[in-house]
Amino acid sequence: MNNRDRWKVYKRVSVMFFLAVVALTVVQRGSISVGAPFELERQVHMHLFQGGEPLEEKSSESHQGIKGFWKADRRQAQSKPRATTQEPRVTGNSSPRTWDVTSTNCSANHNLSSQEWFRGLEDHFKQFLLYRHCRYFPMHLNHPEKCTGEIYLLMVIKSVATQHDRREVIRKTWGKEQVVDGKRIKTLFLLGKPSNEAEKANHQKLVEYEDYIYGDILQWEFLDSFFNLTLKETHFLKWFHTYCPHVRYVFKGDDDVFVSVDNILEFLGSSSHDKNLFVGDVIFKAKPIRKKDNKYYIPQALYNKTHYPPYAGGGGFLMDDNLARRLHWAADTLELYPIDDVFLGMCLEVLQVTPIKHNAFKTFGLVKNKNSKLNREPCFFKNMIVVHKLLPSDLMHMWNLVNSDLVCSQKVEIL
Ligand SMILES: *[C@@H]1O[C@H](CO)[C@@H](O)[C@H](O)[C@H]1NC(C)=O
Ligand SMILES: *[C@@H]1O[C@H](CO)[C@@H](O)[C@H](O)[C@H]1NC(C)=O
Ligand SMILES: *[C@@H]1O[C@H](CO)[C@@H](O)[C@H](O)[C@H]1NC(C)=O
Ligand SMILES: *[C@@H]1O[C@H](CO)[C@@H](O)[C@H](O)[C@H]1NC(C)=O
């Protein structure tokens, strides 16, 4: 053997040795790994090797693919390992992937104080106007995982720290998370910060513990006040836009209403809705209330037209995902308005969408007379989608009645 031949053998042996080490590493990783993360890693390795040039495939693009791959639904990912270079559909439009507001240093707009019309206003309007330009706040409790995978119906419920019992009853009744005929239903509560010191001291810790147990509370850093309900609306729309790429429909409502999920599903399933579904207890041509002692009083300085655009009572309404996304955009083009459901009506007007009035939504009460027996009649509730205002104990009771072997003389069509 001359020097040259010896050199050839050396080369061959070292190449084979190198390949053997690489192969061993791969086999070892594959056989040791039983847990899912390793499983995925192995598939990625195999995928890279199938390409023939294991090292060169590690371009930035394929890294992207792997990152996206981790976020994808696990079952789907495992059955289609070849899809690694494709982003999951998450990036439909340029929505950020996390809540991007992290500091609250929005200060009062004292420019207003010098103006005559402002000085004549009641204190709560002043408070509202001083902070109206503060659009978004950081999150204290967040659950991005709620929106992973395909969701048919996302139910979001406005609540406040102190209402633990209402949330508890909702989780046991209409807010129970379930899968109906393959359609996943998820529930979330929307909270701000407790509005006074006593509540802060006593209830905030409880809210955190409640969330630790159930994992279903979104909480933002703005004060929970009547006029800040609009912030709850805009924050939810932004949250939805950020985290929920695969939700079909959204039900949004109060924490003191009765809801029939069966009827919602029947309604959504049995008619073909075109785009822009927005349905609820819609009021047309409502006049702004000018009596000062009314909860909904609005001074001329805040709204000077004679009518509001059509809007649905905030107690409970349904919309489709596409419209929710567009509403987020529309909301950002408008100045905040202190009444949340009217504000949403203004957003719909911007989008030139007319909300649909449906008789199964009774967010302003079932019948005008509050003492009427009909308000306690389960056969009425059985045919409704939303009914306004029940105490937690009454809600539980009515829910049990409606879901018992209730015999009603007739079933009213929901559609
Ligand atoms: C908020 O604070 C950050 C950092 O502390 C600062 O960069 C930013 O300019 C502030 N924003 C406003 C509106 O004051
Ligand atoms: C207050 O007025 C000043 C000067 O007119 C303006 O630059 C500033 O943006 C105003 N502040 C707010 C919060 O609107
Ligand atoms: C809304 O919340 C912000 C942030 O906590 C607060 O500064 C503001 O005063 C609140 N507005 C009203 C009208 O309560
Ligand atoms: C009504 O309010 C708008 C915006 O606040 C203002 O531009 C307009 O001049 C007001 N109209 C009347 C009649 O006061």
Phi, psi angle pair for 151, to nearest 5°: -125, 130
For residue 376, the model assigns a pLDDT of 78
For residue 7, the model assigns a pLDDT of 66
Residue appearing with tokens 């909904």:
296
Residue where a domain stops, chosen among 56, 88, 120: 88
**HSE-up (13 A, CA, CB side) for residue 110:** 1
Q: CB 381: neighbour CB atoms within 10 A? A: 23
Residue 196, domain member (yes or no): yes
Residue 106, domain member (yes or no): no
Q: Do 201 and 346 sit in the same domain of this protein? A: yes
Q: Do 221 and 115 sit in the same domain of this protein? A: yes
111 Cα to the center of ligand 2, angstroms: 6
Pocket test for ligand 1, best of 100, 101, 102, 103 (most atoms within 8 A of CB): 103
238 Cα to the center of ligand 3, angstroms: 18
Count structural domains, the chain. 2
CB distance 314 to 388 below 8 Å: no
Q: Do 78 and 123 sit in the same domain of this protein? A: no
Any idea which ligand is nearest the CA of 138? 3
For residue 25, the model assigns a pLDDT of 45
| Domain span including residue 28 | 3-88
137 Cα to the center of ligand 1, angstroms: 13
**Residue 215's domain is classified under what CATH number?**
3.90.550
Q: What confidence tens digit (pLDDT) does each residue in 41-59 have?
A: 333 333 333 333 333 333 3
Residue 95, domain member (yes or no): no
Q: Do 13 and 161 sit in the same domain of this protein? A: no
Ligand 2 nearest atom to the CA of residue 107, by list position: 13
Looking at the DSSP bridge assignments, the partners of residue 357 are: 280
Residue 102, domain member (yes or no): no
Ligand 3 cavity residues, CB under 6 Å: 127-128, 131, 222-223, 225, 227-228
Ligand 1 cavity residues, CB under 6 Å: 103, 105
Q: Do 350 and 216 sit in the same domain of this protein? A: yes
Residues 6+ apart with CB under 8 A from 111: none
Pocket test for ligand 2, best of 105, 111, 134, 135 (most atoms within 8 A of CB): 111
Q: Do 139 and 64 sit in the same domain of this protein? A: no
Q: Do 135 and 252 sit in the same domain of this protein? A: yes
In tens digits, what is the pLDDT along the chain, a chain of 415 residues?
A: 566 666 665 666 565 555 554 444 443 443 333 333 333 333 333 333 333 333 333 333 333 333 322 222 333 333 333 333 332 333 445 666 899 999 888 999 999 999 999 998 999 999 999 999 999 999 999 999 999 999 999 999 999 999 999 999 999 999 999 999 999 999 999 999 998 888 888 899 999 999 999 999 999 999 999 999 999 999 999 999 999 999 999 999 999 999 999 999 999 987 667 688 999 999 999 999 999 888 889 999 999 999 999 999 999 999 999 999 999 999 999 999 999 999 999 999 999 999 999 999 988 866 666 667 777 788 888 889 999 888 999 999 999 999 888 888 766 555 5
231 Cα to the center of ligand 3, angstroms: 9
Residue nearest to atom 2 of ligand 2 (CA): 111
Q: Do 12 and 157 sit in the same domain of this protein? A: no
Residue 412, domain member (yes or no): no
- The one-letter amino acid at 97: R
Any idea which ligand is nearest the CA of 134? 3
| Interatomic CA distance for residues 318 and 116, integer angstroms | 41
Q: Do 70 and 196 sit in the same domain of this protein? A: no
Q: CB 93: neighbour CB atoms within 10 A? A: 8
Pocket test for ligand 2, best of 106, 109, 115 (most atoms within 8 A of CB): 109
Helix axis angle for 36-50 and 3-32, nearest 10°, is 150
